[in-house]
A and B are shown apart, each in its own frame.
Chain A
Amino acid sequence: MENQKSFDGTLSADEFYIAANTLCEKWKSANTGLPDWTWVPYKRMPSGASYNDGYLSLESIYHIKFPKDPVKSRNLSEEDEEPVDSATLVHVPSNVIHAYDFHIAYSHSYRDPVLYFNGHRSDGQPLDLDEMQKDLPEYSQKLLTESKWTFITVEEHPYLHQPWYMLHPCGTSDWMKLLLHGRPDAADYLISWLSVVGQTVGLRVPISLVSSCAKHDSI
């Protein structure tokens, strides 16, 4: 990324760590009404690594499916930020409240971030792919039907070693190259990346975050 001429849409493990910190800070200051992204450091034994190993985590994002209102993402714990009619909530059967956890890990193979996610019902029961599929935006549902094995699949989480859903990263560098117009800034990489990737799973990045990056980019 340092050499702009040869920017190929990828980033190094060190740049990923820098970008992760930027995402955490900007997300927090943007008052999204959602929980904060946090960096989860990981001590490998043995490490075999000189960089800061770990992953980004955003947990307990609630997805409520109201009978007539198609899709709404809200965080129930931040009621004062974005008022939620608790009277309505009482009537929502527990099986339509789905909580999602999102993790972003660095792939040394693709030299790009990879999104992992997992969902469970409010009673803690994990969601299966069919249930989760219904929570996805329409275009992702379509893509998932067309390419069952190459879009979202269940993979071993690289740090937790449990089955998690993974958005396949092949092609990330191609569209990141276009998205950043050859004006890469390692720090803002993840925000730009998440603004695209988040949409495929219904996680919206606040517009204020993205525009702050665009401003920075044009200086």
Chain B
Amino acid sequence: MDLYSEDAARFVWEGAIPIQIRLHESQVTTLPPPPPVQILGPRIGYLPLLVSSIKPHFNDTLPPGSDSVWFEYKGLPLKWYIPTGVLFDLLCAEPERPWNLTVHFRGYPGETLTPCDGEDSVKWSFINSLKEAAYIINGNCKNVMNMSQPDQSELWQSFTKGNMDGYTRVSSKLKLGPFGEDSAVKITAGRIPIRLYLRILGDDVYHLEDVTAVESWDSISYINRPVEIHREEGEEGHYITFKKAMKCLLPEFFDDETSEPDHVFVQREDNDFDAANENSKITGAGAVMSCPEEQKCADLAFVKPHSTKKVNQIKLIRIQGIEVDLEIPFFWVVNNLKNPEYYLHICVYMGSSLNHA
């Protein structure tokens, strides 16, 4: 399996979400109100970058004043610095098509959202993220800081136009990957930039269809912490599975998974079956680690055979709209599903349920 596939990366770049945007009623000054606008929002893009396309549709009905644009989904103000695809994966448990958003041109919620002065804010938030990613990977951000003005401009223009080839031409100079033995840069150990969003579902949620809308960002945990890969003797870097990386990020949810694999990654029935089968192919290290855990669980069951306790379980892991198989190489996931600023954004849905210990 090649650890980097241009085709896969292209799918990510071309991925878009059909969005239907209506103007918030408080800013409608004409009758009839303007119809909603349909637009394709690139997954890797950011919502404020859509403003120039939608503004003409609403311009004539806006009340007097200056614009401070923000978006909202079912009452929740959307953080503009999170890529559009990540917002969609995180806030729509069941994909909603078209995605119904509301745009506001007035009354910016400055208490909850960081200010946004249009494209410049987005550009610099993006470049600062790129810098952070470069620091994580290389231990410094010199390559990004020393980027020439034309390169910086080409990088940003290519990004906003969805021109992957133009972007790659500049970004490859930054030496930030891809990761893996057979790739040009050959990064086989080190740190990988991750942004992880954890959505905690209510107690009574058993199916994704029952998930209610997010009312506040307080119900979402955000972890911005790199995964560290230490290359061990006799262990190939690219054989680190996605599961092993997830275990680094959320150790408490992968503790007893070897004894009950189907409780960790609850998906459709058929996938459970696959996951159970795949378990036999875990690399040496994983198999060794599973033994004491299994023993521990067996002991617990023996001591408290009928006790029930509330446990948090991972219900779903989604990256770029895809439910990612836990057994595939982590480097494949990073190389192909990362966003252009070199961060891998992972959405995790977690639910609690009563479990027989």
Q: Which positions in A face B, CB cutoff 8 Å?
A: 8, 44-48, 50, 108-110, 126, 149-150, 153-156, 158, 161-163, 168, 170-171, 174
A48 x B226 contact (CB < 8 A): no
Q: Which residues of A contact B128 (CB under 8 A)?
A: 149-150, 153, 168
B204 on the A face (CB < 8 A): no
B315 on the A face (CB < 8 A): no
B225 x A108 contact (CB < 8 A): yes
B273 on the A face (CB < 8 A): no
Q: A44-B221, A163-B110, A163-B114 are in contact. Are A109 and B135 (CB under 8 A)?
A: yes
**B residues 107-146 with Cβ under 8 Å of A?**
110-115, 120, 124, 127-128, 131-132, 135-136, 139-141, 145
CA distance A168 to B110 in the complex (A): 21
**B residues 247-299 with Cβ under 8 Å of A?**
249-253
Q: Which residues of A contact B223 (CB under 8 A)?
A: 44, 48
Give 14 A-B pairs besides A48-B225, A48-B250, A170-B131 with Cβ atoms closer than 8 angstroms. Answer: A45-B200, A46-B253, A109-B135, A109-B136, A109-B225, A109-B226, A126-B110, A149-B127, A150-B128, A153-B124, A154-B114, A158-B224, A161-B217, A163-B115
Q: A46-B312, A161-B218 are in contact. Are A154 and B124 (CB under 8 A)?
A: no
CA distance A155 to B115 in the complex (A): 9
Q: A8-B139, A170-B131 are in contact. Are A156 and B114 (CB under 8 A)?
A: yes
Q: Which residues of B contact A168 (CB under 8 A)?
A: 128
* B251 → A minimal CB distance (Å): 6
B141 x A170 contact (CB < 8 A): yes
B340 on the A face (CB < 8 A): no
Q: A44-B221, A109-B132, A110-B135 are in contact. Are A155 and B114 (CB under 8 A)?
A: yes
Most buried by A among B128, B145, B312: B128
A46 x B198 contact (CB < 8 A): yes
Closest to B141 in A: A170
* A120 → B minimal CB distance (Å): 12
A-B interface, 3 closest residue pairs, ranked by CB to CB distance from nearest: A149-B124, A163-B114, A108-B225
Closest to B343 in A: A109
Most buried by B among A48, A126, A150: A48
Q: Which residues of B contact A47 (CB under 8 A)?
A: 252
CA distance A162 to B249 in the complex (A): 24
Q: Which residues of B contact A108 (CB under 8 A)?
A: 224-226
Q: Which positions in B face A, CB cutoff 8 Å?
A: 79, 81, 110-115, 120, 124, 127-128, 131-132, 135-136, 139-141, 145, 193, 198, 200, 217-218, 221-226, 249-253, 312, 350
Q: A154-B114, A163-B113 are in contact. Are A48 and B252 (CB under 8 A)?
A: yes
CA distance A170 to B193 in the complex (A): 15
Q: Which residues of A contact B250 (CB under 8 A)?
A: 46, 48
Residue from A162, A170, A174 in contact with B112 in the complex, judged by beta carbons closer than 8 Å: A162
Subset of 18 A-B contacts with CB under 8 Å:
A44-B221, A45-B200, A46-B250, A46-B312, A46-B350, A47-B252, A50-B251, A109-B135, A110-B135, A153-B124, A155-B114, A158-B224, A162-B111, A163-B113, A163-B114, A168-B128, A170-B131, A174-B140
Closest to A149 in B: B124
CA distance A81 to B286 in the complex (A): 60
* A154 → B minimal CB distance (Å): 5
Q: A8-B139, A109-B136, A163-B114 are in contact. Are A150 and B200 (CB under 8 A)?
A: no
Closest to A155 in B: B114
* A4 → B minimal CB distance (Å): 18
* A203 → B minimal CB distance (Å): 22
CA distance A171 to B250 in the complex (A): 29
Closest to B251 in A: A48
Q: Which residues of A contact B225 (CB under 8 A)?
A: 48, 108-109
CA distance A176 to B119 in the complex (A): 34
Closest to B116 in A: A154
* B265 → A minimal CB distance (Å): 16
CA distance A150 to B125 in the complex (A): 9
* B225 → A minimal CB distance (Å): 4
Residue from B79, B115, B252 in contact with A46 in the complex, judged by beta carbons closer than 8 Å: B252
* B101 → A minimal CB distance (Å): 20
Q: Which residues of B contact A48 (CB under 8 A)?
A: 223, 225, 249-252
CA distance A150 to B250 in the complex (A): 31
B252 x A154 contact (CB < 8 A): no
Q: Which residues of A contact B218 (CB under 8 A)?
A: 161
Closest to B218 in A: A161
Q: Which residues of A contact B127 (CB under 8 A)?
A: 149
Q: A45-B200, A48-B249, A161-B218 are in contact. Are A109 and B139 (CB under 8 A)?
A: no
Closest to B123 in A: A149
CA distance A150 to B141 in the complex (A): 12
Residue from A109, A150, A153, A174 in contact with B193 in the complex, judged by beta carbons closer than 8 Å: A109
Closest to B82 in A: A156
Closest to B225 in A: A108
CA distance A2 to B120 in the complex (A): 42
Q: Which residues of A contact B131 (CB under 8 A)?
A: 170
CA distance A114 to B221 in the complex (A): 20
Q: Which residues of B contact A126 (CB under 8 A)?
A: 110
